[in-house]
Structure 1
Amino acid sequence: MEMVRIFSVKVYHIIIFLFLSKFMSLLPIKKGKIVFSNFQGSGFGDSPAEIAKKLKYYKGLDLVWLVKDLDEPMPKYIRKVKYRSVKACYELGTANAWVDNVRDEHLVLKKKKQVYLQLWHGSFSIKKIEKDASDKLNLRYLLNAIYDGKIIDGITCGNSNQEKIFRRAFYLKNKNQILRYGTPRNDVFYDKNRVDNIRKNVRKMLGIGEKDFVVLYAPTFRNTQNKDVYCVDFESVVDIFERKTHQKVIILIKLHPNIKNIGISYCKELVNKKVALEVSDFSDSVKLGIGADAIITDYSSYIYDFAILGKIGIFFAKDYKDYTKERGLYKKLEEYPFPLATTNEKLIEVINRFDLLKYRRDVKEWLEELKIYETGKSSEKITEWLIGKMSK
């Protein structure tokens, strides 16, 4: 009976999708309407927010944000619409342009005269993605990715590494444009005054002193419920960092949305011991990164952003061999300028032996080899591109 129910629900969704797509295809495009989506219904943030901030100065635009929680704070110049609602389908169907930062399941098919701007959320790829990981991804995602790649009019790119991956693995057609302008959310890195203000505000918000040394732990997700791969001996990490820096050390834990639930009890225990602060609900990862001094992660591109900021990055991957087989990596972690640890004991050893001068030299050489496209003007250039495409 359960299988019948699931099958019936899927058939119902397919019928609704076909009806909505057909109906929306008949509606006229409203000039100047731009519909934004951030991580499938999240609030105002990431690169889409940076483009919206620039667009507010243009006259005659109707900016719409698709959001799961209508109580999410939003700038006054943006209209909130419930994500994946019939109203959302209407907004997408009549929009002049779509702006997104992930692959989304399109309930409405794109029209030829609509513009689709993809502000891909990953500024650098460590683990294999899209076509390069086709044998690891489910069929539903792959079919959606193929369609999504076909309809993209422009996709932002921050470095030569991403450009190669986009060309090879994103199912892009020749008419698609790869915009070598950088990553909008990273523009702030090139404005020292903004960086200083954000750092102060984030620390004040979290109750952290300006002279404290802040370590952010931000692991990515796996297809496993094994909590052990995420467990770090933070008490020892705090101790060794305090001995190295001669500062009070604060640990921040930001779990990926896909693993947040399995890590709740683990985080609560650390928070109760006053060893760490749990910041998984902190919506702006860029601001959080600016507020920190170092990052410990596994396979997340977040470490690339820290490198641009000149901050400390360390790989901690307890399941390194298994994850490499499960998902696949573009390069061995040892080939990056970030020191690697695969056990808690090795992590403490890595921190103890950390050579800051050598690290900065290695990171500088690595970024030069990458040929990064970041200049701090990404949002401005992409906004001009979008307005130009919409006017054609």
Structure 2
Amino acid sequence: MFDHLQTVVAPRLRSLLRVLSIGHFHKKRIVFFSYFGRQYSCNPKYISEYMQKHYPDYEIVWAFKQPQHFKSLEKRNIKTVKYLYPRFLRICLTSKFIVTNSEIPAWFPIMKRQVYINTWHGGGAYKRVGAAYQKETPGKQIRAEIAREMPCIYVSSSKAFTDLTIHQSFHHYGTILSCGMPRNDMLVKQNRPQLVSKIKTYYHLPQDAHILLYAPTYRDSKTASEYLFDCSAIKKALTERFGGNWYFMFRMHYFVIDQLKDKAEYIDASAYPDMQELLYASDVLITDYSSSMWDFALTGKPCFLYATDLKFYDMKRGFYSDIHTWPFPLAENTSELEHCIESFDSEKYSTNVKKHLADLGSYETGHACEYICKFITQNNQ
């Protein structure tokens, strides 16, 4: 019954809300929102900042669930509005451009005169999403399918992402901007060394510190303790293999980080507002199935996979390709992770990562922001 209502109510609500589009239409206004209005981050953030710097005549509006937490943006001439509230809907429907990194609600109307750009929030093609992930609830599948019927322009990080995710999983065969992810421009160019100092100063670390970033994906089927590894053993392995004094940063779901003990062994970086800055400053990344491995691969720095629930996850979620063929050393327990670090072959890793990026058909050149912003200005008719 609920699923049926989704298919009936969403189109009708779209029609009703179109009345909010009546009035002055702003051809040089762009509305941004990231992770359903939760953050000022990811690809929309980097597009927004490039637009402000290079095309200051455009009006920038950001939508947040809690706009009171982002008042500082107004000092930078960025307007804020409450996500999914009437004023937000009114502003969206009278703006030429909408940029986000996730699907918008199925009931949200997009007018033919508007340009809706979905940058998505992951690169490469690793864990299955959308139609390729068949174990989502029927209701969620229907809502997503309805949302995908709306006119949309996708941003792609690679040919594999286009083929496997945009075409096969999202069933989108419209316009695609094959330019890489805007948030990765700085990881490709490596032209912002001041970020390393910024992160170390922010977390009160010595400037010669070596940083390991641990950023696993969240699974409600996995207990907090199952995410952990032996920090002392891993620190010893890192020191022996790479030298230096190592500090650990954990970036995890708030539920998991709140349940963990021994917090003296690591820095909780979960609330830091920009994941890309953490990736830029880190010397090593450990994740499991997060697409942050794609981002980090662009830096050439070592990335290790720590997947304690690999068999279960593979059966439940699945991957587009065999995880064992990816270039990142894979471990399912602390002992294996130690071995991966101690036996790390930098030359072999570099060769494998370059081949991996080539095999997936990477579009990352460090010019995604420029490409997308030019597209916006050239389509401002």
The alignment's TM-score, normalised by the length of structure 2, stands at: 0.90
Taking only the aligned residue pairs, the percentage that are identical comes to 25
- Take 2:81 and 2:212, find their aligned partners in 1: how far apart are those partners? 36
Structure 2, unpaired ranges of 5+? none
Equivalent in the alignment of 2:265:
275
Deviations 1:188-216 (A, max 9, x none): 1243331x111121111112223222111
- Take 1:385 and 1:82, find their aligned partners in 2: how far apart are those partners? 27
The 5 A counterparts of 1:46-125 are 46-56=42-52, 57-58=54-55, 60-70=57-67, 71-72=69-70, 73-74=72-73, 76-125=76-125
Residues 151, 16 of structure 1: alpha-carbon distance in 2 compared, 3 angstrom cutoff? closer
SS in 2 for 1:96: strand
1:219 to 216, 224, 234: 216
Equivalent in the alignment of 1:32:
28
Equivalent in the alignment of 1:231:
228
Deviations 1:253-279 (A, max 9, x none): 001xxx42133130xx332xx210000
- Take 1:98 and 1:15, find their aligned partners in 2: how far apart are those partners? 20
Q: CA RMSD in A?
A: 2.3
- Cα pair 2:18 2:93 within 8 Å, conserved: no
Greater mean deviation of Cα atoms: 218-227 or 25-34: 25-34
Residues 384, 144 of structure 1: alpha-carbon distance in 2 compared, 3 angstrom cutoff? farther
- Take 1:353 and 1:44, find their aligned partners in 2: how far apart are those partners? 39
- Cα pair 1:213 1:249 within 8 Å, conserved: yes
1:284 aligns with 2:274: yes
- Take 1:27 and 1:314, find their aligned partners in 2: how far apart are those partners? 53
- Cα pair 1:66 1:82 within 8 Å, conserved: yes
Q: Please tell me the residue identity of whatever aligns with 1:373.
A: Y
Q: Please tell me the residue identity of whatever aligns with 1:217.
A: Y
1:327, distance to aligned residue in structure 2 (A): 0.6
Equivalent in the alignment of 2:322:
332
2:291 to 292, 301, 306: 301
Greater mean deviation of Cα atoms: 23-32 or 40-49: 23-32
1:333, distance to aligned residue in structure 2 (A): 1.5
- Take 1:167 and 1:14, find their aligned partners in 2: how far apart are those partners? 23
1:313 aligns with 2:303: yes
Structure 1, unpaired ranges of 5+? 1-5
- Cα pair 2:97 2:115 within 8 Å, conserved: yes
Q: Please tell me the residue identity of whatever aligns with 1:191.
A: K
SS in 2 for 1:219: coil
Residues 358, 385 of structure 1: alpha-carbon distance in 2 compared, 3 angstrom cutoff? same
Residues 147, 126 of structure 1: alpha-carbon distance in 2 compared, 3 angstrom cutoff? same
- Take 1:216 and 1:275, find their aligned partners in 2: how far apart are those partners? 13
SS in 2 for 1:237: helix
- Cα pair 1:65 1:80 within 8 Å, conserved: yes
Q: Please tell me the residue identity of whatever aligns with 2:144.
A: A
1:100, distance to aligned residue in structure 2 (A): 0.4
Equivalent in the alignment of 1:265:
259
1:83, distance to aligned residue in structure 2 (A): 1.4
Equivalent in the alignment of 2:129:
129
1:344 to 334, 338, 362: 334
SS in 2 for 1:81: strand
1:387 to 355, 377, 380: 377
- Take 2:339 and 2:169, find their aligned partners in 1: how far apart are those partners? 38
Q: Please tell me the residue identity of whatever aligns with 2:83.
A: Y
1:337, distance to aligned residue in structure 2 (A): 0.8
- Cα pair 2:306 2:332 within 8 Å, conserved: yes
Deviations 1:116-163 (A, max 9, x none): 011111112311111111x21123332232233222432111111111
Greater mean deviation of Cα atoms: 143-152 or 160-169: 143-152
Residues 246, 61 of structure 1: alpha-carbon distance in 2 compared, 3 angstrom cutoff? closer
1:19, distance to aligned residue in structure 2 (A): 8.5
1:29, distance to aligned residue in structure 2 (A): 3.0
Residues 328, 24 of structure 1: alpha-carbon distance in 2 compared, 3 angstrom cutoff? same
SS in 1 for 2:30: strand
1:207 to 198, 204, 208: 204
Residues 382, 276 of structure 1: alpha-carbon distance in 2 compared, 3 angstrom cutoff? same
Deviations 1:222-266 (A, max 9, x none): 2415223312211211122122222111110001xxx42133130
- Take 1:329 and 1:130, find their aligned partners in 2: how far apart are those partners? 12
Q: What count of residue pairs does the alignment treat as equivalent?
A: 370
Equivalent in the alignment of 1:44:
40
- Cα pair 1:34 1:97 within 8 Å, conserved: yes
Q: Please tell me the residue identity of whatever aligns with 2:155.
A: T
- Cα pair 2:124 2:360 within 8 Å, conserved: no
- Take 2:11 and 2:360, find their aligned partners in 1: how far apart are those partners? 47
